[in-house]
Structure 1
């Protein structure tokens, strides 16, 4: 019996490579590959799958980051979700796990880690790869990460996008929010992080996120 998998990633080479590797195991069948959530949603309107694998960051999509994870878990709560990502921030990893992610693997790790994660998920376990296990262990030593944990998912997304060079207008459009909301979210994040200037906020985000 085939185990049907779908993959979301904004890099076609990653989609193709992951599909080829997974299907070397005769048990696995990649039934869909998509560059954004919209493609996944359209597919699952008429089809089913046993597992979703997604990247965390899809900068050109309408949904990415924690918003993407939250949407997938809310709509497809019965389908296990693995995050395969180049994300390296432990606090965001922990937030993803809070949303119900079944496994998380860093893209630079050996492909065996992805295969291990799938096996663990099939067995009903939560799997965190060695890379992220170490990152999470180091979080308690990082005061910045402790402060970061006080931010809401919305605040985290806003400062991450702003620090990546997006304008407030672009962020508002991407997150379907008003510019005023984005501004207030930024102010709230600065207050929680005990930061007074935008420049310091963006530098902090680049180092921590």
Structure 2
């Protein structure tokens, strides 16, 4: 049986080492590339093609990541399926990743057997979400919290924010400044400020404090 060729991207060396070691014992899986930076990944996939890419959604401030990276991989290497492995698995992030090209999403808190199942399922051409993640997504869509929370949740999960606006807000909530976000995505300060302002209007918030309070509502622990 032909092995599934896997590429790995994570900016933490310990995580990369652990994944390589765990996958090495699986006879039907073959790791063909291990990367710590997104730019190395994009070039590396040309030299060592992969059937499936396991990537972290959030990388360092100087790295292309999130929706932009998934889109770039899917555009340049359409035959390579994308499976997200991330510590950030709130409904909004999962929904965004799946909408723009990921075929599966696994939380880093899940055990290795779940990841192996996800790898094989996505490589076979089907979508993978854990039962818990599926439930949380369904709950986010069908629950009826107070109106403000509903409107805000829809803004993230139902793409009322553009993908670039979502990226800006995600980075901003992670503690990055407008200048750092501009450098990360190679956009101007003016563009990032405009995208942040537009996102604020769509979310119905007028200050940074309101945004952080809103994040607690739409991203429960």
Scaled by the length of structure 1, what TM-score is found? 0.93
Q: Within 5 Å, which residues of 2 pair with 1:114-193?
A: 114-140=115-141, 141=143, 143=150, 144-148=152-156, 149=158, 150-193=160-203
CA deviation vs aligned residue, 1:119-167 (integer Å, no higher than 9, x gap): 2123221111123112212212251321323111111111121222211
Cα separation, 1, equivalents of 2:133 and 2:103? 14
- State whether residues 61 and 181 of structure 2, in contact with CA within 8 Å, keep that contact through their aligned partners in structure 1: no
Instruction: Report the alpha carbon displacement of residue 40 of structure 1 after superposing the two structures with TM.
Output: 0.9
What is the SS of the residue equivalent to 1:45?
A: helix
Instruction: Identify the range of structure 1 (194-203 vs 78-87) with the bigger mean alpha-carbon deviation.
Output: 194-203
Tell me by how many angstroms 1:206 deviates: 5.6
Alpha-carbon contact 1:90-1:135 (below 8 Å) kept:
yes
Partner of 1:194: 204
Provide the residue aligned with 1:2 in structure 2.
3
Cα RMSD of the aligned pairs, angstroms, is 1.6
1:88 aligns with 2:98: no
* Aligned equivalents of 1:123, 1:169: Cα separation in 2: 41
CA distance in structure 1 between the aligned counterparts of 2:123 and 2:193, rounded to whole angstroms = 43
Q: Is 1:204 the counterpart of 2:204 in the alignment?
A: no
Relative to structure 1, the CA distance from residue 168 to residue 76 in structure 2 (aligned partners, 3 Å threshold; closer, same or farther) is: same
- Secondary structure (helix, strand or coil) at the match of 1:4 reads strand
Q: CA deviation at 1:39?
A: 1.2
Query: What's the TM-score, normalizing by structure 2?
Result: 0.88
Alignment partners' CA distance in 2, 1:2 and 1:73: 21
User: What is the CA deviation profile of residues 60-106 of structure 1, one whole-angstrom value per residue up to 9, with x for unaligned ones?
Assistant: 34211111211111211111111111112212211211122111111
Unaligned runs of 5+ in 1: none
Q: How many residues align?
A: 209
Which structure 2 residue ranges, 5 or more long, are not aligned? Answer: none
